[in-house]
A = this chain, B = another copy of it.
């Protein structure tokens, strides 16, 4: 393990990510970000002018990897089976590494939908791809006649929701036992793949 020396700017970004993702832009305090980075608060403004600018940077750096991961799988899957398996597998891996990311993104998106517009432009997500894949297989009579858009939303929902709703699921379903929740998450990839395939394929075993 190489001991990497973090530059001040990197320390700020790291700390700002942590605080913004946990508390949201309104709940975050510049002083807390500075404290967590172990630097003087003025340095935040020296490097990033304002809270808003710092936040924009954090949001970009958080959102882009997600968009990239999704995009990559969608582009590179030759058929619907590969797409489902690849998407769910990679997405859950990403979410397990960043469990608070979806809530952060959804929250700031709800508060300020405009902010996302540029982000969407810069990520080259191609929604027609899944429609193509689904249409092909549908023609071959292997698929039930579900609207592809609903299927896309379903797959994303099944992956993302448990992470967004962790506290409520843990409280309601797992008697506040975090280990049980983690076990649930560990089973999740295989379950979603099986569940979705079972739903959309005709004569699925």
Contact = CB atoms under 8 A, between A and B. Distances in A.
Nearest to A28: B26
Contacts of A109: 165, 167-168
A93 interface: no
A72 interface: no
A193 B137 CA distance: 22
B103 A107 contact: yes
Interface string A144-181: 10110110111011101110111111011100100000
Contacts of A158: 154, 157-158
A200 interface: yes
22 contacts: A23-B26, A24-B26, A24-B27, A100-B110, A103-B106, A116-B167, A116-B171, A117-B176, A127-B173, A146-B191, A146-B194, A150-B195, A152-B173, A153-B169, A154-B158, A157-B160, A157-B161, A157-B162, A160-B161, A161-B161, A164-B164, A195-B199
Interface of A: 23-24, 26-27, 100, 103, 105-107, 109-111, 113, 116-117, 120, 125, 127, 144, 146-147, 149-150, 152-154, 156-158, 160-162, 164-169, 171-173, 176, 184, 187-188, 191, 194-196, 198-200
